[in-house]
Amino acid sequence: MKNKIPELGIKVLLLFPILFLFSCHSSDQQNAQSSRRTDTVVIQQMQFVPASITVQKGDSIVWINKDMVDHTVKEEKNGFYSDTIHVGKTWKIAATENANYVCTIHPTMKGKIVIK
């Protein structure tokens, strides 16, 4: 019994920093996740609004088609592709790198993603 008290103390002393570090790491992860934003690009009047959007790496971007006709969002170098975004529908991605994109149905419509 006498030996068990110091043994318990040692275990607590060893576990405390581990638990502390774990809680900090977990908190960092939660902070990173909760700090990730979702930004919006509205498709209206045959334009991406805003035409250039600046976001943090990992942030989400959602395109909302408020136009009269269907559109697409395609990265110019064969990266991401939304397929058809029908009138009133949305499409979302996590932004990972700078990108120039177009609407493949209306090639005069262009947009840009800039990572901070």
Partner 1 sequence: MKIIKLLTKSAICFAVSTGFISFSANAQKAVNLTDPEIASIAVTANQIDIDYAKIAEQKSHDQAVINFAQTMAKDHQSVIDQAVALVTKLGVTPKDNATSKSLKAGEAKTIKMLKSKSGKAFDKAYINNEVGYHKAVIKEVETALIPDAKNAELKSLLQNVLPVLKSHLSHAEMVQKEVNK
Q: Which is nearer to partner 1, 24 or 105 (CB)?
A: 105
DSSP annotation of 105 reads S
Q: Which is nearer to partner 1, 36 or 106 (CB)?
A: 106
Tokens of 4: 């068990």
As measured in angstroms, the least distance from the Cβ of 84 to partner 1 is: 9
Q: Which is nearer to partner 1, 3 or 45 (CB)?
A: 45
Which residue ranges make up the site for partner 1 (CB under 8 A)? Answer: 45-47, 67-70, 87, 105-109
Tokens of 107: 């090639």
Q: In angstroms, rounded to a whole number, what is the distance separating the alpha carbons of residues 44 and 106?
A: 13
Q: In angstroms, rounded to a whole number, what is the distance separating the alpha carbons of residues 40 and 24?
A: 32
As measured in angstroms, the least distance from the Cβ of 87 to partner 1 is: 7
The residues near 89 (Cβ < 8 Å, ≥ 6 apart) are: 65
As measured in angstroms, the least distance from the Cβ of 58 to partner 1 is: 33
